Each structure stands twice: as structure tokens, then as C-alpha cells.
Amino acid sequence: MPPPGSEVIVIGLGRFGSALADTLVELGHQVLGVDAEPNIVQDALGRLAHAVQMDSTNPKALEQLGAKDFQVAVVAIGTDMEASILTTAALSDLGIPRIWAKAITESHGRILERVGAHHVVFPEHDMGQRVAHLVTGRMMDYIELDEGFALVETSPPAHVVGKTLGEAGIRAKYGVTVVCIKPVGQSFTYATPDTVMEAEDILLVAGEKRHAENFANKD
């Protein structure tokens, strides 16, 4: 994430691109939004300080826009793979240090990397995976930090309620670490061996994906 105040160009202002641009603005970044559709650009001007209608696959147009002066670019173009790839290649040719690009399929992602994307994201796939982990068991949130390692928000299983973390031996039994705990009506706080777990508490647990999932699915 660039430091607050950084300039970011977001190309493609559909649902994903608009949400990303709006959040960047909230975080204190200066955002230039770009889209080929005039009505989308007009709508974005109500939220972003700067938004431009243009064909982002045109390298000369990007250069005239001053895209090469940006340190971070996000290619958030939706289903038009050709436009996504050509735009990413054009940004790479301009020498932008950090290019993030949205991919629809794995093959699309590989091509984006080959033409110059430094980071490729799969929003629909990643969200689908995340929700799949939440629809069963006691998970309230699930974030895969790395391949095979996850951070899980869950409630404590019934057999550890009323026990301290030390007494429950969660790390030894389940191979996960309770990082934080949120008692009812309170904020998250760091967990210690003396922390007592109650039924309505929320635990933030870290560990290998299979261990974290196993703990969150225990009754």
C-alpha cells in the first residue's frame, strides 16, 4: 500500500474499480480514475477529484494523460481481457513502478504478469473462496495470508468455554495460535495464557489453513 497522499491511477471504474478508487480516496490517496464510458466517468466525478474518459489501450493517450508520473497503477477493467492486457502492457512500457491488475481467469492472470503486471488479483475467485469458508461452521471471517496459512475470526468451541487459553491448550491440540480476543461489548485485545474464553467471545486465530479450518469447525 502506498503512503497516504500518493497518486494512484485506477483504470476501469466498474464495481470493483469504483470501490477500490473510493477506498483509496478514504485512505488519503490522490486518485485519477479512467474509463472508456462517458456515463461512468461522469458518475465518478461526483466522488473522485479527477476522472477522465479515454481509451486506455492507446499508449500515446496514456502518455499525454501523464500516466508515467504515477508510482502506482491499477488495471481494474472488467470482462474485456484484450483491453486489460493492452492497458497493462502500455503502463509497463511507460515504466510505472507498481502495476496491479485484475484477472478473470488464471490464463488471463499469467498473460498480465508476462506483459508487465507486478501484482495480479482475482477478486471474484478470492471472494468466492472466502465466502465458502464462512457458510458453514463458526467462522465469521477468513483471510488466507499466504498459500496454506490463514487468519480466522471465529467463536470458541463449547469445550473450551470458561477455560483460560493455558488450560485449553489450543496451540498444542489444534496447531493454531489465538492472537486476539474480543469479549462482548469490548474491543479486540491481545490474548494471553490467562485469558478466559466465554461463549460469546470472538477469537482471532492464526495457523496453517487446515488447522485453522479444523478449529473453527469444532463444536
The domain boundary residue, chosen from 71, 105, 123: 123
Q: Rg of the chain's alpha carbons, rounded to an integer?
A: 22
- Looking at the fold, whether 173 and 119 belong to one and the same domain comes out as no
The domain boundary residue, chosen from 91, 106, 123: 123
- Looking at the fold, whether 70 and 148 belong to one and the same domain comes out as no
What is the rounded distance in angstroms from the CA atom of residue 38 to the CA atom of residue 44?
A: 10
For the chain, what is the domain count?
2
The domain boundary residue, chosen from 123, 147, 180: 123
Cβ contact 168:187 at 8 Å: no
**Residue from 188, 197, 187 nearest 218 by CA:** 197
pLDDT tens, the chain, 219 aa long = 555 457 999 999 999 999 999 999 988 899 999 999 999 999 999 889 899 999 999 999 999 999 999 999 999 997 899 999 999 999 999 999 999 999 998 899 999 999 999 999 988 766 666 666 566 566 777 777 777 888 888 999 899 999 999 999 999 999 999 999 999 889 999 999 999 999 999 999 999 988 988 888 876
- Looking at the fold, whether 58 and 83 belong to one and the same domain comes out as yes
Buried b / exposed e over 164-186, threshold 16 CB at 10 Å, is ebeebebbeebebebebbeeeee
**Residue from 65, 99, 94, 96 nearest 84 by CA:** 99
- Looking at the fold, whether 136 and 67 belong to one and the same domain comes out as no
**Residue from 45, 25, 26, 24 nearest 34 by CA:** 45
- Looking at the fold, whether 90 and 144 belong to one and the same domain comes out as no
Identity at 96, one-letter amino acid code: I
Residue at 2 is within a domain: no
Identity at 121, one-letter amino acid code: V
